[in-house]
Chain A
Amino acid sequence: MIGVDSDEKLIAKALAGSQRAWSKLVGRYESRVYNQALRMTRHRADAMDLMQEIFLAVYRNLPNYRHEGSFPAWLSRIAINRSIDYQRHRGRQPEQATIDVAELLGEDSPQDALGLSRRNTEISRMLANLNPDQRVVVELKFFQQFTFEDIAQQLGISSNTAKNRLYSAIAHLQKSMEIKNAL
Chain B
Amino acid sequence: MLSDALRDQLLNYLDGNMAPADRARLEQQFETNSELNAAWQALREMQAAGRDWEDVAVPQWSRLAGVTARPGNTGIWPVSLGWLSLATSITAILLVLFRAEISVTEQGFSVAFHESGLNPTTLEQRLSDLSVAHESTLNQRMAALEKKSLEMNRQLLTAALSYSRDERRREMTALATNWSRARSSDLMLVDGIRDNQLDDRLALRQLYTRLPPIN
Report A's interface with B, CB cutoff 8 A: 14-17, 19, 22-23, 26-27, 30-32, 34-35, 38-39, 44, 48, 51-52, 55-56, 59-64, 101-102, 105, 113-117, 119-120, 122-123, 126-127, 138, 141-143, 145, 147-148, 163, 166-167, 169-170, 173-174, 177
Inter-chain CA distance A47–B161, complex, in Å, is 20
Task: Enumerate the 4 nearest inter-chain pairs by beta-carbon distance, A residue then B residue, closest first.
Answer: A142-B50, A62-B71, A63-B72, A26-B63
Partner of A120, one of B15, B54, B71: B54
Residues A163 and B7 in contact in the complex (CB < 8 Å), given A23-B63, A177-B45: yes
Which of A19, A61, A138, A170 counts the most B-chain CB atoms under 10 A from its CB? A170
Q: Is B56 interfacial (CB 8 A cutoff)?
A: yes
Give the interface SS of chain A, mostly helix, strand, loop or mixed: helix
Q: Is B174 interfacial (CB 8 A cutoff)?
A: no
Cβ contact within 8 Å between A30 and B72 = no
Q: Can you list 10 pairs linking A and B with CB atoms under 8 Å apart?
A: A31-B57, A55-B63, A56-B65, A105-B160, A105-B161, A115-B56, A120-B54, A142-B47, A145-B50, A177-B41
Instruction: Count B-side interface residues using an 8 Å CB cutoff.
Output: 40
Cβ contact within 8 Å between B8 and A163 = yes
Inter-chain CA distance A64–B71, complex, in Å, is 10
Which residues of chain B come closer than 8 Å to A52, judged between CB atoms?
61, 65-66
Inter-chain CA distance A14–B63, complex, in Å, is 13
Cβ contact within 8 Å between B46 and A169 = yes
Partner of B71, one of A15, A48, A115: A15
Inter-chain CA distance A16–B73, complex, in Å, is 12
Inter-chain CA distance A101–B155, complex, in Å, is 12
Residues A22 and B67 in contact in the complex (CB < 8 Å), given A52-B61, A113-B160, A163-B11: yes
Cβ contact within 8 Å between B49 and A31 = no
Which residues of chain A come closer than 8 Å to B59, judged between CB atoms?
44, 48
Which residues of chain A come closer than 8 Å to B69, judged between CB atoms?
17
What's the minimum C-beta distance from A18 to chain B, rounded to whole angstroms?
10
What's the minimum C-beta distance from A139 to chain B, rounded to whole angstroms?
9
Cβ contact within 8 Å between B71 and A63 = yes
Which residues of chain B come closer than 8 Å to A63, judged between CB atoms?
71-72
Cβ contact within 8 Å between A60 and B53 = no
Q: Is B42 interfacial (CB 8 A cutoff)?
A: yes
Cβ contact within 8 Å between A31 and B55 = yes
Q: Is B58 interfacial (CB 8 A cutoff)?
A: yes
Cβ contact within 8 Å between B49 and A123 = yes
Which residues of chain A come closer than 8 Å to B52, judged between CB atoms?
119, 123
Cβ contact within 8 Å between A34 and B65 = no
Cβ contact within 8 Å between B156 and A143 = no
Partner of B42, one of A114, A127, A143, A170: A170
Known: A56-B66, A60-B72. 4 other contacts (CB 8 A): A55-B63, A59-B67, A61-B72, A170-B43
Q: Is B210 interfacial (CB 8 A cutoff)?
A: no
Inter-chain CA distance A22–B63, complex, in Å, is 8
